[in-house]
Copies of this chain bind each other. A is one copy, B any other.
């Protein structure tokens, strides 16, 4: 982006995207959940519960529960680490990728009419 967003533009962008999310039929995730989802998809694996908790400065149960919820929605998947069976590796799914694609589209589209 060439020009950083001014106050009014930033708020309009935020408003438009949020409004579309509220309108839409998508499951609307909590702030923490989206952040976790984005971290999983934007940073390089492997992602363990502990790593995610540390990155987001939240407790491990927060991550576990968020993965429970998003797992039910097929947005992420869990897998035991075969090397160290204490670890759980969080993995991406097709539905999760699609979800973020749509989110990105929404942001991109909203950014066009500022």
Please report the C-alpha to C-alpha distance between residue A101 and residue B4 in the assembled complex, in whole angstroms: 15
Q: Mark A44-79, 1 if CB is under 8 A from B, else 0.
A: 000000000000111000000000000000000000
A21 contacts partner chain B, Cβ-Cβ < 8 Å: yes
In the complex, the count of this chain's copies comes to 2
User: What number of A residues sit within 8 Å (CB to CB) of B?
Assistant: 44
Which residues on B sit within 8 Å (CB–CB) of A34? 14, 18
Please report the C-alpha to C-alpha distance between residue A28 and residue B23 in the assembled complex, in whole angstroms: 20
A94 contacts partner chain B, Cβ-Cβ < 8 Å: no
A1 contacts partner chain B, Cβ-Cβ < 8 Å: yes
CB-based closest 7 A-B pairs: A10-B107, A15-B38, A7-B104, A10-B104, A2-B2, A18-B35, A5-B111
